[in-house]
Amino acid sequence: VPTILILLITFIVSIQGLSSSPSNDSKPPPPSYKSRSTSIPDEASNFAEGSDARRGRLHEALSTFGIEASFLTDSAEFRGSAALRAYSSFILPKSAGALAVADSPQRAAVVANNIAFLIREHKSHQEEWLRNHDRSTAEAEEIL
């Protein structure tokens, strides 16, 4: 019993010590976070050069698949999706090797094909959920 009492007193004292600590208002704010994977490269970077030309090539290639780029870039549905990451990685490559690949003549068509597949896959997953949800509702009604 004495050890439990000692542990309890120690715990209470430690809690009181935490609650009486000075506020952390004097600490400087944390540095701002900038994502390396989705941020725009520095203007001094070689990788930002030609991004408008790559964007134009990719938009043209996407149009051959019947996809308007604004559908992908402006829709909240695709925020953080693999399709949007492929789009961003082509336009703003993050390394010299990726830049060399992105500047190759056929790469825009390959990336557009990949984006079209990822959009179809995304839609099929949504429709599958709806089909399964509708079937479950119908089965529940049959049971009742």
pLDDT at 35 over 80: no
Q: With 0.85 as the threshold, say if the pTM is over it.
A: no
Name residue, tokens 């976070």.
33
Cα Rg for the chain, rounded, in angstroms?
A: 27
Band of pLDDT at residue 120, cut at 50, 70 and 90: very high
pLDDT of residue 58: 96
Give the model confidence (pLDDT) of 38-66 as tens digits. Answer: 555 555 567 778 889 999 999 999 999 99
For residue 115, what pLDDT is reported?
95
pLDDT above 70: residue 106: yes
In terms of C-beta density within 10 A (0-12 exposed, 13-18 middle, 19 or more buried), how is residue 114 classed?
middle
* Distance separating alpha carbons of residues 126 and 120, to the nearest angstrom: 10
Neighbours of 7 (CB within 10 A): 10
Residue 28 to residue 50: CA distance in whole angstroms: 39
Helices of type H across the chain: 2-19, 51-64, 69-74, 82-91, 96-102, 107-143
User: Could you read off the pLDDT of 59-92 as tens digits, one per residue?
Assistant: 999 999 999 999 888 888 888 889 999 999 999 8
Nearest by Cα to 119 from 91, 77, 57, 60: 77
